[in-house]
Amino acid sequence: GAVVSQHPSWVICKSGTSVKIECRSLDFQATTMFWYRQFPKQSLMLMATSNEGSKATYEQGVEKDKFLINHASLTLSTLTVTSAHPEDSSFYICSAFSGRAGYEQYFGPGTRLTVT
């Protein structure tokens, strides 16, 4: 089956610093990748959609200057949380769409970000 990895799996950073999270499709090329954030006991909230080689499309209310997304290749997308604050602490999850298996999207294991 298709595998999506995320790195790091958890990160602690100080307020005001930036953090980069990587999302990789390990055995397929992902035409589209999605970034979600999830607060405890809540549903997944889509932050942005990224297509390789083009600018990400952000959902309403998501600050594109704060959450920088780069989809540099068909197997790698990165999310950078700039000038992180404690309210950015959350579980960040990516998913990837391959186009090989119909509509199916494959999710990464998630990254736990804690901003102190």
Partner 1 sequence: QQQVKQSPQSLIVQKGGISIINCAYENTAFDYFPWYQQFPGKGPALLIAIRPDVSEKKEGRFTISFNKSAKQFSLHIMDSQPGDSATYFCAANTNQGGKLIFGQGTELSVKP
Rg over alpha carbons for the chain, rounded to the nearest Å, is 13
- Residues near partner 1 (CB under 8 A) are 4, 6, 31-32, 34, 41-44, 46, 49, 91, 93, 95, 97, 99, 102-110, 112
Cα dihedral 96, 23, 113, 61, rounded to 10, equals: -50
Nearer to partner 1, 3 or 72 (CB): 3
Residues belonging to the chain: 116
Beta carbon of residue 31, minimum distance to partner 1 (angstroms, whole number): 6
Q: How buried is 16 (Cβ within 10 angstroms: 0-12 exposed, 13-18 middle, 19+ buried)?
A: exposed
Nearer to partner 1, 4 or 19 (CB): 4
Nearer to partner 1, 49 or 82 (CB): 49
